Structures are given as C-alpha cells and as structure tokens.
Amino acid sequence: MTISRVAIIGLGLIGGSIGLAVREMLPGVATTGWDADAAVRRRAAERGLAGTICETAGDAVREAELVILCVPVGAMNAAAEAIAADLVPGTIVSDVGSSKRRVGEALAKTLPGAVVIPAHPVAGTENSGPDAGFPELFRHRWCIVTPDHTAPPAAVEALTQFWEGLGATVEIMDPAHHDLVLAVTSHIPHLIAYTIVGTASDLEDVTRGEVIKYSAGGFRDFTRIAASNPTMWRDVFLSNRDAVLEVLGRFTEDLSLLQRAIRDGDGETLFDLFERTRAIRRSIIEEGQDDARPDFGRTDH
C-alpha cells in the first residue's frame, strides 16, 4: 500500500512543512489542505503549502488516503469533527500532536470508521503559522508513531514509508511511554524556559533592560524556547498532564536538594552533581550522538 493522496488539516509550521516537503521529496503524492482560519488558507495558497487549498474540510479529505491533523492538541477533536462526515471509511487518519495518549483516544472515539494511527514528528521551531514552514524540517529527525493493537500493519507501514519519504526515521512506541519520554525531553524543558524567562522579567531589582542587555548564551537560549507558540504549549501541558506532573515532581525534589545545598554551603553536593551531568554530556558526545538527529554523524548520505 502506497499513499498517493494526502490531506493536511491545519497549515501552520508543521502542516505547511509537510506540504512543502511532499512537494519537494514525494512529487508523486498529491496534497490538499484546509485550515479553519481563512487568512491562513489565503497565505497557504500564496506559498503553495498544498497542491490544492480547499474552502471546506470535507473537500480536503474526501479523496484522501491519508489525512494528517496538524492543529494544536486541544483542537484535534474539533478538527476530527470537521472532517467526520466526509471521510471515506477506512481512510488513514494521523496527526502530529506533541502528546499522544489523549489525542489518540479522542480521534478513535470521534472517527470510528477511520484507521487512526497517531504520530509525532520530533522536529520543530519556536515559530508558528503559515510562514514558518520549510521542507527540510523533518530530515534526519525522529517521527514517533503510536498505533494501537487495532491498526492494520499495512497502514502502519504506509504511514512509516510516508514519513521516511520526508526524511524522518520512524520509531514505533506505546503512547503512554511516548508521553513520559517527551515530558522529560521536551515538555519540562519548555516549562523551565517559560518559568525562568517569566521570573527574570518579574524581578524588581533587575530591570528588563538589564536582562536584555546582559543576556548571555544560556539565558538567550531559554528566551528562544520561551518564545514558542502559547496556544500549542498550553494545550500540550493540559493534554499530557499526568506525565508532566510526574516528571515535574521529580524535578522539583531535585531542585529543592540543590537549594538546600546552596543554603548550607554544601559545595560537595553541587560539585558531585555538576560532575555527573558533565560526564553524561561527554559520553553522549563520545558515542557520536551529540544531536537529536537519528543518524547524526553518518557520512554516507
């Protein structure tokens, strides 16, 4: 089974990047696109984010073999409802949401006639909207696919081939495990960035001008992450609540231990931790994995 017609619902950073990547890397695949926002649809047409930009969700999905929902996780159900009446039974419906368990459950419930196979390309930027997408976004990145036991293997394979065609490497994972792993590697780091940038701007004795003027590497990196799409991230934290709270509990315990060590003048505890984390970073570099890209360091392509 090879996919030749794909509908993209939601034409922002991820949906737009899929459309552009298909045009560049899978020229035999036709794309249709729809976004709930008319201004986004107009801009998507100007940029050619899909071969045909449709005026209704139904027009976009009616002839598709694969529909990919590229909307914030809190809008997945609304997007599913918008396509439900026009979806041909047996169509593969996937998504790109940053959390997987709740999204998968919602899609399966709203679209009982579809073959629902949730997915998450672990690739993005702090930018959003129809001008943010670019075709190379998924190249040498992971795409985690989280099918349940009802998903036909041929459909999972077709979706895998589609993502591989866009340059990604696919990993199959249980949705709850995905949510725990991504809470550690993506969601909590974003929460920390939002917090530190907010704290810095709220300090009474350090002016906002000073924060901007003296922001060195570390803080600057946090401000990039903290500039990420507020709607998307609000939805991620609400949707992946359980895993985020679990990891956050561990993180705050560890932070309290450091707070105590600083108050007590306990340099040994601080030094031991910093030495351990530096060793972790160094062993990652030695293993040649100094990047989230699955085949980083390979020279044969």
Ligand X SMILES: O=C(O)C(=O)C[C@]1(C(=O)O)C=C[C@@H](O)C=C1
Residues that bind ligand X (CB under 6 A): 98, 122-126, 186, 228
For the CB of residue 259, give the shortest distance to ligand NAD in the complex, in Å: 31
Say whether residue 72 binds ligand NAD (CB under 6 A): yes
For the CB of residue 235, give the shortest distance to ligand NAD in the complex, in Å: 7
Tell me how far apart the alpha carbons of residues 180 and 244 are, in angstroms, rounded to a whole number: 7
Choose among ligand X, ligand NAD, none what residue 186 binds, the Cβ cut-off being 5 to 8 Å by kind: ligand X
Q: Which residues contact 28 (CB under 8 A, 6 or more apart)?
A: 4
Alpha helices in the chain (DSSP H): 13-25, 38-47, 57-61, 76-84, 101-110, 153-165, 175-182, 188-202, 208-213, 217-226, 230-239, 241-263, 267-286
Among residues 117, 136, 115, 169, the alpha carbon closest in space to that of 20 is found at 136
Say whether residue 11 binds ligand NAD (CB under 6 A): yes
Choose among ligand X, ligand NAD, none what residue 169 binds, the Cβ cut-off being 5 to 8 Å by kind: none
Among residues 31, 19, 230, the alpha carbon closest in space to that of 133 is found at 19
For the CB of residue 190, give the shortest distance to ligand X in the complex, in Å: 6
Taken in order 236, 237, 242, 248, the sign of the CA dihedral is positive
Tell me how far apart the alpha carbons of residues 101 and 112 are, in angstroms, rounded to a whole number: 17
Joined together, the tokens standing for residue 75 give 């809008």
Among residues 15, 17, 10, the alpha carbon closest in space to that of 133 is found at 17
Q: Which stretch binds ligand NAD (CB under 6 A): 30-38, 193-201, 267-275, 279-287?
A: 30-38
Say whether residue 75 binds ligand NAD (CB under 6 A): yes
Closest CB to ligand NAD among residues 39, 284? 39
Say whether residue 10 binds ligand NAD (CB under 6 A): yes
Q: Which stretch binds ligand NAD (CB under 6 A): 93-101, 111-119, 203-211, 243-251?
A: 93-101
Closest CB to ligand X among residues 201, 228? 228
Q: Tell me the one-letter amino acid at 133.
A: G
**Which of residues 19, 33, 121, 167 is near ligand NAD by CB under 6 A?**
121
Choose among ligand X, ligand NAD, none what residue 3 binds, the Cβ cut-off being 5 to 8 Å by kind: none
Say whether residue 49 binds ligand NAD (CB under 6 A): no
For the CB of residue 124, give the shortest distance to ligand X in the complex, in Å: 3
Helix axes 76-84, 101-110, angle to 10 degrees: 20
Joined together, the tokens standing for residue 45 give 């047409």
Question: Which residues contact ligand NAD (rule: CB under 6 A)?
Answer: 9-15, 35-37, 40, 70-73, 75, 78-79, 82, 96-98, 121, 124-125, 128-129, 132, 229, 232, 236
